[in-house]
């Protein structure tokens, strides 16, 4: 079993707040992340596939194809967007890095599975100091 990871980049605006709470309570919990006029990040996305090398190519998955797939299925929907307003698969969800990684997994995994391969991990780097990992 070998693990292959492809890295892609995008950037987006978002805001963390809970509509059921007062502004005061949102500020207590989310701090500056609750700014009503949004803030944003350069996200770095790592997608990992696991499998055995194909005896005809030495690949477990074509890294170029994987990059194109991530761009078509994920980056196209989120790059230079507002995660709270513009992204269908995040509609009605808190746009925390945790939920966003789960959302990205759910978008990509069926496309990997359809090709007979196994997705292993989504790693999402939100800032140089914060990243999350989801394994399905």
Positions marked active-site: 33, 80, 126
Binding mask 75-114 for a second copy (x = CB under 8 A): ----xxxx--xx------xxxxxxx-xx------------
Q: Using CB under 8 A, which of 27, 73, 118, 132 touches a second copy?
A: 132
Contact criterion met (CB below 8 Å) for 105 and 88: no
What's the token pair of residue 67? 């990059």
Least distance (Å) from a second copy to the CB of residue 26? 10
Least distance (Å) from a second copy to the CB of residue 111? 19
- Give the C-alpha separation, 102 to 89, whole Å: 10
Binding mask 19-38 for a second copy (x = CB under 8 A): -x--------xxxxx-x-xx
Contact criterion met (CB below 8 Å) for 111 and 88: no
Contact criterion met (CB below 8 Å) for 17 and 31: no
Measured torsion, CA atoms of residues 54, 56, 59, 65, in degrees rounded to the nearest 10: -110
- Contact residues for a second copy (CB under 8 A)? 1-9, 11-14, 16, 18, 20, 29-33, 35, 37-42, 53, 56-60, 62-64, 67, 79-82, 85-86, 93-99, 101-102, 127-135
């Amino acid at each position: 079993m070998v693990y292959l990871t492809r890295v892609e980049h995008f950037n987006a605006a978002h805001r963390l707040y809970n509509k059921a709470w007062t502004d005061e309570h949102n500020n207590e919990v989310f701090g500056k992340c609750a700014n009503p006029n949004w803030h944003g990040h350069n996200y770095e996305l790592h997608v990992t596939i696991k499998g055995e090398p194909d005896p005809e190519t030495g690949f477990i998955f074509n890294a170029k194809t994987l990059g194109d797939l991530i761009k078509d299925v994920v980056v196209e929907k989120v790059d230079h967007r507002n995660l709270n307003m513009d992204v269908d698969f995040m509609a009605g969800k808190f746009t925390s890095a945790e939920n966003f990684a789960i959302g990205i997994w759910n978008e990509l995994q069926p496309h990997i599975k359809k090709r007979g391969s196994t997705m292993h991990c989504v790693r999402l780097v939100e800032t140089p100091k914060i990243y999350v990992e989801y394994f399905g």
